[in-house]
Amino acid sequence: EILGALMSMAVVWMVTGVLTYLACMRLLHPDYNIDATVMLITSACAVLTNILLSLILHQTGHGHSHGAQAREHMSAPLEEPALRNASLRAAFVHTIGDLFQSISVLISALIIFFKPQYKIADPICTFVFSIFVLATTITILRDILTVLMEGR
């Protein structure tokens, strides 16, 4: 479970790194063309999909139950917070990261759709949302490393 969570965080960081690299290349070589309509449709679909997936993962991990199962859980020892559903938390954070990246693309697409001369919005939005995504993954990465290093 923990290794799956670690892999999920590694994928988030790798994708963010690739997107940041591509944004840098677009700043250095501004002779690229963007089809804003395709970008707008694709990013809108990605935003909707990530919202749906986030809601599903959030509902799956809310952690309460009813009836006899709830009484059984009351008598069971409490788990460390870092151990509780770590892979589910990592998947949720991964989805939230994808959602923010998709929102970034959607914002860029809207700007470029209405003002094509502002295509620099694409790499700028990528930088801003990449920083946000990396910042949101720090706590779960810390929890994962704490478990892997058997820290207290």
User: Taking residues 100-106, what's their average pLDDT?
Assistant: 87
pLDDT tens digit string along 31-62?
888 889 999 999 999 999 999 998 888 776 55
| Listed residue (31, 20, 41, 137) closest to 89, CA to CA | 137
Give residues with Cβ within 8 angstroms of 92, minimum separation 6.
54, 57, 58, 61
pLDDT at 114 over 50: yes
Single-letter code of the amino acid located at 128:
V
**pTM given for the model:** 0.66
The whole-number pLDDT of residue 20 equals 93
Report whether 54 contacts 99 (CB < 8 A).
Answer: yes
Report whether 123 contacts 53 (CB < 8 A).
Answer: no
Indicate the range of 1-15, 21-35, 78-92, 97-111 predicted with least confidence: 78-92
What is the token pair recorded at 84?
């509780």
The whole-number pLDDT of residue 115 equals 92
User: Taking residues 107-136, what's their average pLDDT?
Assistant: 89
pLDDT at 71 over 60: no
The whole-number pLDDT of residue 24 equals 94
Angle made by CA atoms 87, 44, 140, in degrees to the nearest 5: 20
User: Taking residues 92-114, what's their average pLDDT?
Assistant: 87
pLDDT at 88 over 70: yes
pLDDT at 77 over 60: no
User: Taking residues 111-129, what's their average pLDDT?
Assistant: 90
Using CA atoms, how far residue 85 sits from 32, 112, 116, in Å, is: 43, 40, 44
pLDDT at 152 over 50: yes
